Structure 1
Amino acid sequence: MSKNFGLFICILILAMDISAGILGIQAEVAQNKVKHLKVWILECKDPSYKAFKLGLAAVVLLALAHVTSNLLGGCVCIRSRKELEDSSPNTQLAMVSLVFSWIILVIGFSMLMVGTMANSRSRKSCGISHTRVLSIGGILCFIHALFAVAYYISATATTRELKQGGGHA
């Protein structure tokens, strides 16, 4: 039963991240359908409410996927470089995956928020062009899925090792 639960969590994380990525790319497509005037790097455009909704949904799903992998994966704490070097391969993989998932989350979340807020109904923006931020944020959601699932799997394996007494964190 425990293995089936773990498989379900991995599929859930993947589904949320992939959905967020697809929604981010669809938001970019919806944003490009509104009228805009572009002169060199300056651009004036009307907001797209559809792009706003899709971008907001992508942001929420990305955050939920990250929270799910971190809360259900557990906490793998490393306090020093020596402790990291002496730890098991599962613990090392968990730490690397955790760090990269946070980096990808911050960059992807920021890009999706910039694109989403640019499409807020209350703004008609004129300024430096923010091209492709929603689609790049969507692509980063796909990459986040890999690191989030890797973290969940390696963190639960580390927890299992510690319960069996077969390794040290």
Structure 2
Amino acid sequence: MVEGEKEKKKGSCFSIVIVLCIILVVGLDIVAGFVGLQAEAAQREGKHVRVWLLECKAPSQKAFQLGIAALACLVAAHIIANLIGCSISSIVRALSGVPKITGYFNLACLGLTSIVGIVAAGALTMGVWSNRESRSKCGFTNRHILSFGGKLCFLHAIVSFLFYLSHVITKKSCC
């Protein structure tokens, strides 16, 4: 009887941790998305002169700071999603006792979370890089790169949620 109670506590504790991680990761991703969109709006407020594909503009300090904040939130969400939520070793261990389709979906979500996180971080980094103070004044246009990074942060939230959901299903079916 004592072991059954320990299993119930362990299962409820696991569920609470997963729910808190989902709220934290999705919340950080949503914050990163909104801050990325605000950085794009701040970048548009700067002075622009455009001649065909070349664009000359003054860097925006506010867009730079907001871009750094969005990038920090995205990186924190990605690290939390991969380290706290589920480690690779638990995925491999869980694959041995679950139906193949669930295991493959879990691995696909892990890969997609990493791909979306890397692309979003790259887009935000390019937006931040274009708003640094020491950059040259003219270059090829890369407008809307911060908003693209912000939208990818929202996609990262969705994929991270699916990753957690698949992890919970994998844990339930193997135990």
Could you say whether these structures have the same fold, taking a TM-score greater than 0.5 normalized by the shorter chain as the test?
yes
**Structure 1 unmatched runs, 5+:** 165-169
TM-score by length of 2: 0.82
Determine if the alignment matches structure 1 residue 116 to structure 2 residue 128: yes
1:69–1:62: structure 2 CA closer, same or farther, 3 Å change rule?
Answer: same
1:149 is displaced (CA, Å) by 1.7
Deviations 1:74-130 (Å, cap 9, x if unpaired)? 22239xxxx89x844432221111111111112111110000011112224311001
2:61 and 2:132 in contact (8 A); partners too: yes
| Correspondence for 1:72 among 84, 94, 98 | 84
| Matched residue count | 158
1:7 is displaced (CA, Å) by 1.1
When Rg is computed on C-alpha atoms for both structures, the one with the higher figure is: 2
**TM-align CA RMSD:** 2.0
- Share of identical aligned residues, percent? 35
What residue is the counterpart of 1:155 in the other structure?
167
Distance 1:61 1:93 in 2: 26
1:46 and 1:124 in contact (8 A); partners too: no
Distance 1:73 1:90 in 2: 17
Determine if the alignment matches structure 1 residue 11 to structure 2 residue 23: yes
| Correspondence for 1:45 among 27, 34, 57 | 57
**Structure 2 unmatched runs, 5+:** 1-11
Determine if the alignment matches structure 1 residue 25 to structure 2 residue 37: yes
